[in-house]
Structure 1
Amino acid sequence: MDLGLGGKTALVLGAGGGLGGAIAKTLAEEGARIAVADINLDAAEKTAADIRAKGGSAAAIEWDLADLAKIAPNLAEIETKLGSVDVLVNITGGPPPTLVSGQSVENWRKYFDSMVLSVIAITDAVLPKMRENKWGRIITSTSSGVIAPIANLGLSNSLRMSLLGWSKTLAGEVGKDGVTVNVILPGRVATQRITFLDAQKAEREGKSIEEVAAASTSSIPLGRYGDPQEYADVVAFMASSRSSYLTGSVIRVDGGLIASV
């Protein structure tokens, strides 16, 4: 199936990590030019090198999402090297496990800037060219916690939830310009983040990581953690020309974990 991504430019945030890296490589395999953005330049360079080794086109960009002043120069660099952004995949790092109560105002502001405001500002910066071209894809990765809040992930549950209202509203504003806006959320996909959270839970509860992982997978109908590639494949469809009638939606890639319909 031709996804119609040949010659398109995709900006993937967090592309040095497990989910972002898989997404960047998958979009590259479909013919897109990839701006590989990550706070860790070495990780971004590795993803970009993997893409180039397979004949793809990629540029690594060091990008601290909390630094909003970097948006304009980073996008200018991408446009010079790869062209204007046709596909934006918003992925932000998660905050540390916390209760939702008793957090300082400074902590809320810190993670609001890096997890919410950065996504909004970057999207606003790439939208004009997408609307001019009458084609664009905005895909924002959040968490299953926006549907069923996860215990001890208070900051993540709260801040990521705001991106759903923003995304749905934006979809209604730009749809007639050929730009689709959707949210995708992972369940328990096997990444370093999930390993970290399992380790934190094991420490809190006095259990082994293996015990925590076994209990977690027992609640997933498919009986296992997801593979980052399975997540990336869904993103690739959402980014494609084939998804032209999909907008304003929240897509779960969770192995059936979330109990609600």
Structure 2
Amino acid sequence: MDLSIYQHHFIVTGCSSGFGKAITEFLCREGATVTGVARRQDPLAKIHHQWPDRFTPIQGDLSKTQTLDRLVEVTSDKPLHGLVLNAGGPPAKTAIETSMSDWDEAYASVFRWKADLVLRLLPRFREAGYGRILFIESQSIKQPLPVLALSNAMRAAVAGFAKSLSRDVAREGITVNILAPGAHNTPAIERVIAYNAEKSGLPLDEIRKNMEEAVPVGRFGKAEELAGLAAWLLSVQSGYVTGQCMSHDGGTVSGLFG
């Protein structure tokens, strides 16, 4: 399929590993250009070495205002076709294990910077009469996970923001969607496996095996698989899809509309 994103410019956050890296590489292979943001310099340098003409790296913490300031400034002279909002989640904890400082940090790391960045860049999409905004969140939006109380709550807040925004800009050529991944072979799942192993006393391999067997397709997903769906949602072809929260979870969400 021709995604028609050749020479389109995208911003991808959290681009140094996991879903963000997979999406960045997919877009570059399709001939798009990407401005990518991540905390770690070495992974950014490796991606830039691979795609020197298509990838512009920005090192920084997305929860810091100065990082958002720099991102907006660096991309101000480029056309902007799409925005991928992706970052690691808060630590694995049950609700009763959390403190108010945990909630403050989760708000800053999961919700606040995303709303801030979208609202900063939205005028550019509206002026162009075109844009693709894609949030990479979690299946916990649809089916809360017991040990991810912070993620359950804050990602639900992101979903409320995204759905509201999608209606506001639906007639301006701008789509707003969410991808809700389940268990994939990414650093995020390793944190959950480690948490479950510590709590249960079971070996890491056994925890991993049990989690994989709980997925209807019998395995964890691959970040590259999600990247293909993300690229379509970022393409011209997806113009009639907006305000949606799409699962990418191997059938894990048990609801009728999972």
TM-score of the aligned structures, taking structure 2 as reference length: 0.95
Q: Which residue pairs with 1:19 in the alignment?
A: 19
Matched, 1:213 2:217: no
Aligned 8 A contact 2:18 2:223 in 1 = yes
Residues 92-141 of structure 1 deviation map (CA, whole Å, 9 limit, x = unaligned) = 21111112235332321222112101000101111111111111000001
Q: Matched residues in 2 for 1:222 and 1:152: separation?
A: 22
Report the residue type matching 1:247 in the other structure.
Answer: T
How far, CA to CA, are the matches of 2:232 and 2:3 in structure 1?
7
The count of corresponding residues between Structure 1 and Structure 2 is 256
1:147 pairs, out of 132, 142, 145, with 142
Gaps of 5+ in 2: none
Identity %: 29
What is the TM-score normalised by the length of structure 1?
0.94
Match of 1:255 among 247, 250, 257: 250
Report the secondary structure of 2:51's partner residue. Answer: helix
User: Quick check: 2:138–2:155 contact (8 Å CA) kept in 1?
Assistant: yes
Question: Which segment drifts farther, 151-160 or 62-71?
Answer: 62-71
Structure 1 ranges of 4+ moved more than 6 A: none
Letter in 1 for 2:45: E
Q: Aligned AA for 2:62?
A: L
Note the alpha carbon deviations across 1:7-31, whole angstroms, 9 max, x for none. 2111110000111100001011112
1:131 maps onto 2:126 in alignment: yes
Gaps of 5+ in 1: none
**In structure 2, what is the equivalent of residue 225 of structure 1?**
220
Instruction: Report the alpha carbon displacement of residue 91 of structure 1 after superposing the two structures with TM.
Output: 0.6
Paired position in structure 2 for 1:45 = 45
SS of the residue corresponding to residue 218 of structure 1 reads helix
105-114 vs 3-12, which deviates more? Answer: 105-114
Partner of 1:2: 2
What secondary structure sits across from 1:79 in the alignment?
Answer: coil
Pairwise CA distance, 1:158: 0.7
Q: 1:184 aligns with which of 166, 179, 200?
A: 179
Partners of 1:94 and 1:216 lie apart in 2 by 19
Q: What does residue range 29-40 of structure 1 map to in structure 2 within 5 Å?
A: 29-40=29-40
Deviation at 1:220, TM superposition (A): 1.1
Q: Is 1:14–1:91's contact at 8 Å kept on the other side of the alignment?
A: yes
Match of 1:234 in 2: 229
Give the Cα separation in 1 of the matches to 2:54 and 2:65.
26
Indicate if the aligned counterparts of 1:198 and 1:212 stay in contact, CA closer than 8 A. yes
